Amino acid sequence: MRLLTPTRLCIIAIAAFLLLLYGFGNAGCKSERDYSGIPYIYTDTTIDVSSAMYHNLEFIGGWGYIPSGFKGIFLYHVTENQFIALERCCTHDPGIFEARVYYDEKGGVLRDSVCGSEFHPFLDGNVTKGPAELPLRKYKTQYYESGALKRLRIYN
């Protein structure tokens, strides 16, 4: 009695090939970009956009910061019901304590206070000038209105 018939050997070879192919094909897959050095901070904050504290966000083109995330979150009002929420920690120098991304209204960019990297505030925080190579971490937003009440939820 032969244990490894040509048919069994062929099936084993195909299975080994598929396992090898699957392993290498998915080795680099990640559901989120690699933000090494930037800790994941659970965030689920709701703000009242119509309050005096966030009155800049009430209008399209308005922006502001909230003390959430790792080094704070930058908010930008894009369209009537759409907001962008980006981490203020630069992807180039996350370990430098005093480094923060801030909004430069004249240039219309987000700029890191230490390395000078620039990011596009309306297009998901993409890098427009290095040395940073990764975009800013993006948070999800959910906007809802009920009469005079205007709420914005920022979460990950």
The separation between CA 147 and the C-alpha centre of its own chain, rounded to angstroms, equals: 31
Q: Mapping DSSP to helix (H, G, I), strand (E, B) and coil, where does residue 143 land?
A: strand
Using CA atoms, how far apart are residues 8 and 156, in angstroms rounded to an integer?
49
| Token reading at 49 | 């956009």
List, run by run, the mean pLDDT of 10-residue segments along the chain (156 residues).
59 50 40 68 93 91 94 94 94 88 91 93 87 93 90 95
Using CA atoms, how far apart are residues 99 and 35, in angstroms rounded to an integer?
16
Structure confidence at residue 24 (pLDDT): 41
Q: Give residue limits of the domains in the chain.
A: 44-155
**Model's pTM, two decimal places?**
0.76
Using CA atoms, how far apart are residues 150 and 141, in angstroms rounded to an integer?
13
44-155 in CATH: which number?
2.102.10.10
